[in-house]
A and B are shown apart, each in its own frame.
Chain A
Amino acid sequence: KNQVEQSPQSLIILEGKNCTLQCNYTVSPFSNLRWYKQDTGRGPVSLTIMTFSENTKSNGRYTATLDADTKQSSLHITASQLSDSASYICVVQYQAGTALIFGKGTTLSVSS
């Protein structure tokens, strides 16, 4: 069964600290993996997108990694800010298709 599992479910960190969110998937065949940030009450916004041939992609303080062999991805947030408080969703797309498989997200809370 094609699934995307994220961990942890929720995370609380202090402002300025780093954190890493995990995503494991079983989607096959695989086209691309993306990370979305969803602020409360808003739609998801894309942070990064990686194909199977890419193993890292950065967007400012956000760095995503991908290991297509182990089917794992991580999102690393450096020097967290209060505005990073949001839900982070890992999404995997089937190869040669449009269907997306969504993880349930990790809720990150950054406190001062």
Chain B
Amino acid sequence: DAGVIQSPRHEVTEMGQEVTLRCKPISGHDYLFWYRQTMMRGLELLIYFNNNVPIDDSGMPEDRFSAKMPNASFSTLKIQPSEPRDSAVYFCASSPSGRSYEQYFGPGTRLTVT
């Protein structure tokens, strides 16, 4: 298995632009997590899905952030409009049924908003 796949690996955009981050979880995993990592705050859980349904989005910072999972093999995290404080590394992770603690992380997307 290729593991969790994220794209793009790096994204540089200007303030106010829309940004879409993509994730393909490991096949057969039914949990999917989106995290954000910064030097100041470390890793933070933004939202997670179980069987394509959002379960907990309490970590989503504000309405500018939205996440979707239209099917079991694809998820997006969208920021609109983006702001410089959104600059961070965004990780996607997936885990198998019944073992949500066993999370496999993707390589991350480094987002820079200028």
Interface of A with B (CB < 8 Å)? 31-32, 34, 41-46, 49, 89, 93, 98-100, 102-105
Identify which of A42, A46, A103 contacts B103 (C-beta below 8 A). A46
By the criterion CB–CB under 8 Å, are A45 and B101 in contact? no
Chain A residues whose C-beta falls within 8 Å of the C-beta of B106 in the assembled complex: 43
- B113 CB, nearest partner CB in chain A, Å: 19
Knowing A43-B106, A98-B31, A98-B56 are in contact, say whether A103-B42 is a contact too (CB < 8 A).
yes
A38 to chain B, nearest CB (A): 8
Instruction: Give the CA-CA distance A45 to B104 in the complex, in Å.
Output: 7
Per-position binary interface string of chain B over residues 83-114, scored 1 when its CB falls under 8 Å from any chain A CB and 0 otherwise: 00000000101000000111101111000000
Within 8 A of A (CB), among B18-48: 31, 41-45, 48
What are 27 A-to-B residue pairs whose CB atoms are below 8 Å? A31-B101, A34-B101, A41-B107, A41-B108, A42-B107, A42-B108, A43-B4, A43-B91, A43-B93, A43-B108, A46-B102, A46-B103, A49-B101, A49-B102, A89-B42, A89-B43, A98-B31, A98-B55, A98-B56, A99-B45, A102-B42, A102-B43, A102-B44, A103-B42, A104-B41, A104-B42, A105-B42
Additional pairs, 18, CB under 8 Å, beyond known A98-B56, A102-B44, A105-B42: A31-B101, A32-B101, A41-B107, A41-B108, A43-B91, A44-B43, A44-B105, A45-B105, A46-B103, A49-B102, A89-B43, A93-B101, A98-B48, A98-B55, A99-B45, A102-B43, A103-B42, A104-B41
A43 pairs with B42, CB closer than 8 A: no
Which chain B residues lie closer than 8 Å to A103 at the CB level? 42
| A102: chain B residues within 8 A (beta carbon) | 42-44
Chain B residues whose C-beta falls within 8 Å of the C-beta of A98 in the assembled complex? 31, 48, 55-56, 100
